[in-house]
Every structure is written in C-alpha cells, then in structure tokens.
Chains A and B, each alone.
Chain A
C-alpha cells in the first residue's frame, strides 16, 4: 500500500535548473515581501513582550506625535492616541488581532472550501450539488454578508470572521475543483484505480497531495483581501469593539483628529497597506514560481 503511494508521480512543473525556493529567493521583491511578513508576524506574536506599555492604559499625554516630530517624546515612539494610549503598543496588539482574524478565516474557509471543491471533482455525482451551493454562497459579497451578520448578531469580531469564512468557501471550492479536475484526468489516478486503491487513499494520497500547493497559493493571494475587508468593517465601527485594538478600528479613531494628529490614522493604515501589499507580492511570486498555470 505505502509503496504504491510513495510511487505517486510528481505532478509539479517540468524539471528546472533551480528548486522552487531558490527561484523564489532570487526574486528580490518577493524576498523582501517575505522578510517583511515574517517580521510583522513575529512582532504580532511577541506583542505582549515587545509592547512597551499596556495597550489599554491611558496617560495624560494625549495625541502626542511620533518621536521624530517636533513635539514628540522618546517615551512614546509612535506617539499616543486621543485617549493617551501608546500607539506602538496598540499597534502590536492590533496587528495581532487583525492577523488572527485574517488567518483564522482563511484557514477555516479554505479548509471547508477546498474540501468541497476536491470532493466535487472526485465524485462527479456530487459535483452539481456542490457547485450549486457555491453559486448560492457566491451570490453575496463578503461585505454584504458582514453587514448582514453584524446586523443580526451585533457588532463584534465573530460575525466578521463568520462572514469572511462564508465568503471564502465558494471561491476556494471553485479553484480547488478546477485544479482537481486537471489532476483527475492524469494517468496516475487511473493507475491508482487500476491498482484497486480505496477511494479514501486515492483522495488523500493522489488527489490532495497534488492539489494542495496550488490551493495554498490561491489562499495566500486571498489573505490580503480578507484583511482589507475585516479592516474596512472595523473602520465602520462594525467589527472589533473598543477598547480592543484592531488596525482598522485604530484608523477610524484617528479619523476625527486627522487635521491636527494625522499619525493616529496614518500609522495603522500604512501598516495594513504593508501587510496586504507584502502578502500580495509574496503570493504572486509564489504562484509564478510554483504554479504558472494559475496565472490570471
């Protein structure tokens, strides 16, 4: 059994001179994006140790500009917000929450979506049903789902995550199905069938293993969009509830003081831009290197 599985022919691109990760590292923009992402993720994960202050503790120093500005203070490197809270500390915690929202929704939505998509390709019987279901889910854009769920469940992180998950499922199911359809036509699937392998093994060892890298690329490209939607909902006051720090909400809090203290809104917004940009660039590069067929 295991012999048959390990003998699975690789479905990757034709042999090239360099392994994929070497080619990825040669792309300078992609390399930089990856480094930036790793740094941001590390900073977010280590927020409790890196943050100089309690993100919820306010001080008397209200709306202090960043340290490099004329009135800035070295005590508060990125300044303080309208409640006198340290922006750097809130930024670290806010990034943590924003990334957590994005990651959890992409993981859950991606898992459910790709499972459905692979299933549809594997069992032709299920295909019309699964695709019909995904058509239905696809008919409502994420932001509308978010508005509806927040209206029903009240503002908070859970309805936002739920909306992001539900909106990821149909997209991911379609992509996974397309990828899996291509794999199912390959000869090794037929060979596996001829060997009399049970469906479960064909599914996991033959189909899933060969489809997974393409699906992951799609999800990495989708990650940035989810972060943007979550941040937008929070900006509108429909996501995270104060005093919790979340990047979109932090930007919203700075909106009313944009004239005198632009840094309060600009700093979190720029961080969102950097995260999404890095994720998009890295995802694009990963796709070009690993799976040029996915190129749109």
Chain B
C-alpha cells in the first residue's frame, strides 16, 4: 500500500515539474524588460542595471527557473500585470467559488446518474433502458455552452425564476443558492450521462458474478439483489470515473463560469488569457493543474482502499 502510494506520488513529480517549466516559460513571454518596467522609463541605466541584478535577471535561465521554483513553492506567483494585485490574492478569491460550483454540480448529478444507470441495468433491454441510454448519449453530445444558453433562456428570461449573472454570497443564503442554481444545473447536465453509462455497465458486470447468483438463489427480490448486492460493488468503477472525468468537469466549469459571470478560477483564466495578463494566466494554469493532479491522486488512493485487488 505504502509502496503504491509512493510510486503514485513519484509519478506526479515529472508532471508538476513540467507544468512549472511551462509556467516559467509563459512568464518569459511578458513583453518588455521587467527591470525597465519596474525602474520607470526615465531611470538612468545604472539604476536599471541595479534592479536587474537584484531581480536575478542577469543570471542564466536555469538559475532564474530555480528562483521561480522557490518562489512558487513559497506561494508567490508574482503580481497581476493589469491590476497589480498579487496573483495569489486574485486566485484565493476565485478558488472558493469554483469549488463551490463543482460541489453544487456533483451533489445532484452523481446520485441522479447512479440512479439512472442502476435503473437502466435492472430494466436491461426494455424501453426504460433505451430511453435512459439515449438521454445519456444526448447529454454527452451537448455542447456545455448550449446547455447554459438554453437554461438562461428558459429559467432566466422566459420564466424569470432564477438570476443568471454572478455570485451573490455563499450557498447557504437564499440569494447565494438562487445564483448558483443555473450554473450548477448546466454543469451537472454534462456529468449525468457518463455517470449513468458507467453505472449501468458496471452493475451489469457485477450482476453476472457468483455472489449475485447466490443472492438470487436464496430468493431475494430483484430489487434487493441489485441494491444490496450488486450496486455496492458496481460503484467502485464509478469512483474512478469521477477522477477520469475531472478534466471534463474542469472544461465545463471554465465555460460555465465564463457564461454566468461566476467569479471562479476558470473565468479568471480566460479573462487573463484574453487580456494577455501572463502572470495571472500562469497562476491559474498552475493552480488548475495542481488541483487536477491532486484529485486523480486522491481517486487512485480511494480506489485501492475500496478495491483491495488493485494493490499490487
């Protein structure tokens, strides 16, 4: 178990390094000489040279990378090139809303997806099964932005039930809940399909196993067989699915946040890229990559805890 854990963490290191090299290179794209920018246009050359030395800009690129590496590890991503606020400050303000949105999306879409998949597996081959599978294929094929636009049209503009711009306080307040409803609904729609599909095939797989036959043989009802004996085992692959789909979810979140003006990391990143704010873009990309790697690490560990067969 420990060996597997260490190996798994070891695998993440080259990725992290790669992402950091990328972040560093991105900062090299910043137009202009940072020392000149800092000193001001009228500063005499000696002062510029002084600043350049103090910032380490005269050192080789490798040394500069090492300095960047140390700064990032210490949590210093530099300052925004537009607002001049520290990148960490902007990121800190954006991470909360993103996590909130993702949780609000998962909390309704995963249980619904599992329920739909289980139902489809129980009614295999019937109209119910085919309808659920057709729905999930349609769900996977819908562009996220189209779902967002349709939901805005329906609930925001036609019925005027829900607001669709920005975030208004935390979820536990009524206004906060009303504001998160549409983004969370849109983002969750793309997630139900894969969960339902995975649950269905996984339940069908488990239904073939011996212990299910035993459960059937002792006269349990089909529902008891599925819910108590099959579903529990079938849910293990669904856990990995969440890890595998985390990237998909992230992509959806970037689009959803941008459309609904949700102040999260995705919107921050898109805005920064469009306005060439390289420092913010670098910070967002590093943060998102880190989160993604961490999610997959946690899922892998969870997987081996749930299914001891995986530990080699």
Contacts and interface: CB of A to CB of B under 8 A. Distances in A.
Nearest to B157: A259
Contacts, number: 136
B85 to A, nearest CB: 19
Interface in B1-50: 11-12, 14-15, 18-19, 22, 25-26, 29
Nearest to B282: A151
B294 to A, nearest CB: 11
Which of B146, B254, B259 counts the most chain A CB atoms within 10 A? B146
Contact of A296 (B18, B141, B201, B292): B201
Contacts of A152: 22, 25-26, 29
A228 B143 contact: yes
Contact of A139 (B12, B250, B254): B12
Interface string B264-281: 000001101110001001
Interface residues of A, number: 44
B145 A252 contact: yes
A284 B140 CA distance: 13
Interface residues of B, number: 50
A231 B157 CA distance: 25
Main secondary structure of the interface of A (DSSP, over half): helix
B238 interface: no
A266 B285 CA distance: 31
B261 to A, nearest CB: 12
Interface in B280-299: 281-282, 284-285, 288-289, 292-293, 296
Interface of B: 11-12, 14-15, 18-19, 22, 25-26, 29, 137-138, 140-146, 149, 152-153, 157, 197-198, 201, 246-248, 250-251, 254-255, 258-259, 269-270, 272-274, 278, 281-282, 284-285, 288-289, 292-293, 296
Interface of A: 132, 135-136, 139-144, 147-148, 150-152, 155, 224, 228-229, 231-232, 235-238, 248, 251-252, 255, 258-259, 262, 265-266, 269-270, 272-273, 276-277, 280-281, 284, 295-296
Given A140-B292, A152-B26, A296-B198, 5 more contacts: A141-B248, A232-B254, A235-B145, A280-B141, A296-B201
